[in-house]
Structure 1
């Protein structure tokens, strides 16, 4: 009997262990599930004051170990501080918060937070100053006060967040990222968890209003396929492999240095992020990667719009969650678009004419080209624009026509997508630039090119195929006249592939001169003759599509 009980107990113990391990495996495999609720995203609103911060660690195969605290008191940021790389270890950051009006006598308010192995006040002469700092797990030190005025002094912490990696940044106003990572038993720099804290209430964001400048000019920079990661990222097919002899190539710092150089030299009026900003496969925390793409733009107060590619949502956030973040960032004009239309990010923005006019001079249409084919058996490869998206585009363009006619000068339309249209494959058309890989357009043609022509869109530009950077001229079949330019942005990020014969990363620009109604496009490269405008050509004149050597 004793042996039977022991054997049964062992079997039950094994089953419990197996079940726990299965939970770990499933949690790692389907780690998008916790992100579906992403408890940290909606909490950054006014009215709350942080009263305490702590960290919990647990072992998932120990049924008596838990990373949860009382949910009525503590808010847990739903990000494992080990990024799910630990087989059994988990850790989460919690913070306690109260509304200002609910603060009771004796409640303490956090007015400072530091990460350190030692008491930050250890060098203070006064013992009272040393006692101001309270230790918490993970090297967290808090300075708290019970003074009633502290909650509205501007010093009080009002929210806390977690980002990852040695190069983590936070583009949100009033947020400060801590230079020192949490003191955890973590591995590589990509696993360094860093705290970002906010002081004061979140500022009210107003959408930028882009406008043609006083000289009648407007410049768009298209940043295609940045492929940013959580952490520094690994360079792929870098040319040259070492930007400086002996200097290691880290993908994200090198990509962002390229972006910042062009922002400073070209001074674009608007940046279009045309998909695959985030390299989902290497972004267990997609928020961190997305923030890195946005920070240089916020620092320079440059408006921007974004659409998604096939890799953005392969990390821990889906398209809707990524767009929710973008919509709340400074200088963002990104919009999720109508909920009853397929995809996330079907929208348009207007660039107003010069001076004080409220009339639109330029209209940019942005559409979601989705990811992979929903019917691999019949149409292999990538997805296509759906009929309701095309109908939305037609209806929107038609609805805007009367308003655009109020503009006293020449109004122009353009479009940006991620995955190229099937017509990009037509090698019989005139094209200029690099065509180094087969265009990976969808196998099914839903007719969006025809809709673009019918609604007088002058050019469409995409990304996706990193080493194609050509512009192709589509002609009207009836009169053989130019009808639409179809361009590639050219791959810009070192985290994505870039092979095929030493291809150098690049960025495309569209320069508008509203006086004569002209559009000139060109590219700038990351290495080599970096000051040259590559393949510069006029594609629009008199607000009309023109072919090579033509001029109105």
Structure 2
């Protein structure tokens, strides 16, 4: 009898497990499909206002529960509030929205949203205030009892979800809730879900035109390998190990470092040279992107980004990341020609001082992709493709012949930025010790597609990369006759979410200062700890428009 009971119990347990697995893998009501998770961005249509909001929670243990509500009424924000980390529980924000032109006297539009465990009237000790309505997740809504034209300006028109105790909102006109959503069994630690709301129509996004300053100078700050996460992240190889009592949250410390350099150097442009997002720790890459963008936007500093091998390993594809980054204020990031390999092959023109329309400096940014497509023959990392190099050469030639370039009467200068180093970084002709050090071997592609030669052919003076976090040198590439042709630099890693453990390595950033009066380029680095105000390894790499030995 006992054996029969045990056998029956085991059979029921196996059957239950099979049912759970079938539900988990086959019923898309319980989770976001992987493709949707990696490619979806919040969609908000103009001319719509929100009339209601709710949270739908579902469980794989209850086959009758669903995380999808009636699609004819509700629009789902495609972000699992548990970041798809909850094997049994999932939840999604749903909004009901209507076109303003279709609103009737019976419709009630949302004027305010709060998150908390208490009724805002009680918590604010304002008993005479208008009634707040409760919704799941600790959401409280204030809605008009009767639609009035005057309410439209204050109406909530869009809702999104961001994650992490350090989440920030980078979009103009958006406001982030102060408290996270209240969920059963909570969410991942330090990755709680926060509502963000927008009032009125989308705000204008400022895209500045770059000019050389009145003194003839232009300064670029290269930020490499931030490795930001969803939430504060975990420090890898912090230095010194016991700084701040040994407590180290990766992203707050990284961003504090970048902020301090922005405020001291006051660059005219920031170039983000890849691996801004640490994909494996970013189940919501949007939250990671907003953290770095917010720094530049609040300081009104233009910035431009390319991607590394880790950016698209999180929740967003390269295309979606570029779409998101491009949409933000002060971002000069571009998708580039869609017929080229990669995402983010583009150039930026810096015009001469004042209101001039003449180009003084051209910056080329190219996508070096990720991992080798032919691991058997060429192990390691991918390479710039022929169509990218052909595009670069054609574009460079056309720009040189354009009136904007020909009309510039001083030395026009060109520079390039990539993420993964070129194979020639391994074939170092000359490392000048004053420019930095090489603690690790360059992890360049095994296949050489010839981009270094194309750069020299088109007169580009310097190229700078990231990827190898603790290499921070510039090397001089020469011709067969020993003539200086191209400076190849590393920025050095800046983020505590990426590795840095090579004998006391301090995170750092690289500065390039262009003096258009002298046609000179000077470069130096700023470090995170120690002599933080020092211009480390300051070196002249271009003089009178020509590459020179340091």
Q: TM-score, normalised by structure 2?
A: 0.94
Structure 1 residue 541 displacement after superposition: 1.0
Structure 1 window deviating more from structure 2 (140-149 vs 10-19): it is 10-19
SS at match of 2:360: strand
Larger deviation, residues 326-335 vs 205-214: 205-214
| Counterpart Cα distance in 2 of 1:508 and 1:42 | 37
Q: CA deviation at 1:73?
A: 1.3
TM-superposed CA distance for 1:154, in Å, is 2.7
The alignment of Structure 1 onto Structure 2 pairs a total of residues equal to 539
Is the partner of 1:210 in helix, strand or coil? coil
In 1: Cα distance, 2:37 partner to 2:354 partner: 45
Which residue is 2:451 aligned to?
A: 448
Check the 8 A contact 2:239/2:506 in 1, yes or no. Answer: yes
Determine the C-alpha separation between the residues in 2 that align with 1:201 and 1:332: 20
Rounded to whole Å, the distance in 1 between the matches of 2:240 and 2:28 is 39
1:316-395 → structure 2 map (5 Å cutoff): 316-395=315-394
Distance 1:356 1:14 in 2: 70
Q: Does 1:472 align with 2:471?
A: no
Matches within 5 A, 1:135-214: 135-149=134-148, 153-184=152-183, 185-214=185-214
**Do the aligned partners of 2:39 and 2:315 also contact (CA within 8 Å) in 1?**
no
Give the aligned CA root-mean-square deviation in angstroms. 2.3
Contact 1:31-1:316 within 8 A present in 2 as well: no
Distance 1:14 1:381, change over 3 A: closer
Residues 13 and 166 (structure 1), Cα distance of their counterparts in 2 relative to 1, 3 Å cut: closer
The aligned counterpart of 1:415 is 416
In terms of mean alpha carbon deviation, does 538-547 or 13-22 score higher? 13-22
- Within 2, Cα distance between the matches of 1:203 and 1:373? 41
* Aligned residue in 1 for 2:43: 42
What does residue 16 of structure 1 align with? 19
Contact 2:81–2:187 (CA under 8 A) maintained in structure 1: no
In the alignment, what sits opposite 2:4?
Answer: none
Comparing 201-210 with 221-230, greater Cα deviation is found at: 201-210
Give the conservation status (yes or no) of the 8 Å contact 1:414–1:458: yes
Change (3 A) 1:405 1:289: same
Separation (CA, whole Å) in 2 of partners of 1:307 and 1:11: 49
Once superposed, which parts of structure 1, at least 4 consecutive aligned residues long, lie more than 4 Å away? 6-15, 23-28, 123-128, 150-153
SS in structure 1 at match of 2:295? helix
Q: Is the 8 A contact 1:492 1:506 kept in 2?
A: yes
- SS of the equivalent of 2:43 reads helix
Q: CA deviation at 1:22?
A: 3.8
Assess, with a 3 A threshold, how the Cα gap between structure 1 residues 11 and 166 changes in structure 2: closer, same or farther. closer
Distance 2:187 2:166 in 1: 16
TM-score (norm 1): 0.93
2:387 is paired with a residue of what secondary structure?
helix
Q: 1:264 to 1:10 in 2, by over 3 A?
A: closer
Residues 126 and 25 of structure 1: CA distance in aligned 2, closer, same or farther (over 3 Å): closer
Of 334-343 and 404-413, the range deviating more from structure 2: 404-413
- Distance in 1, Cα, partners of 2:367 & 2:149: 46
Check 1:195–1:26 CA distance in 2 against 1; reply closer, same or farther (3 A cut).
closer
Gaps spanning 5+ residues in structure 1: where? 1-5
Structure 2 CA distance, aligned partners of 1:367 and 1:377? Answer: 25
37 and 355 in structure 1: CA distance in 2 versus 1, 3 angstrom threshold? closer
Using a 3 Å threshold, how does the CA distance of structure 1 residues 19 and 459 change in structure 2: closer, same or farther? same
Show CA shifts across 1:316-370 (max 9, x none): 1110010010111011000011111000000001011001111111100000000
Which of 482, 497, 507 is residue 505 of structure 1 equivalent to?
Answer: 507
Q: Matches of 1:365 and 1:19 in 2, distance apart?
A: 50
- Following the alignment from structure 1 to structure 2, what is the Cα–Cα distance between the partners of residues 476 and 424? 15
Q: 2:437 aligns with which of 434, 438, 444?
A: 434
* Alpha-carbon distance between aligned partners in 2 of 1:24 and 1:429, rounded to the nearest angstrom: 60
Which SS does the other structure have where 1:252 is aligned? helix
2:522 corresponding residue in structure 1: 520
Match of 1:54 in 2: 54
Distance in 1 of aligned mates of 2:418 and 2:319: 17
Q: Sort the Cα spacing of 1:143 and 1:376 in 2 relative to 1 into closer, same or farther, 3 A.
A: same
Contact 1:100 1:151 in 2 (8 A): no
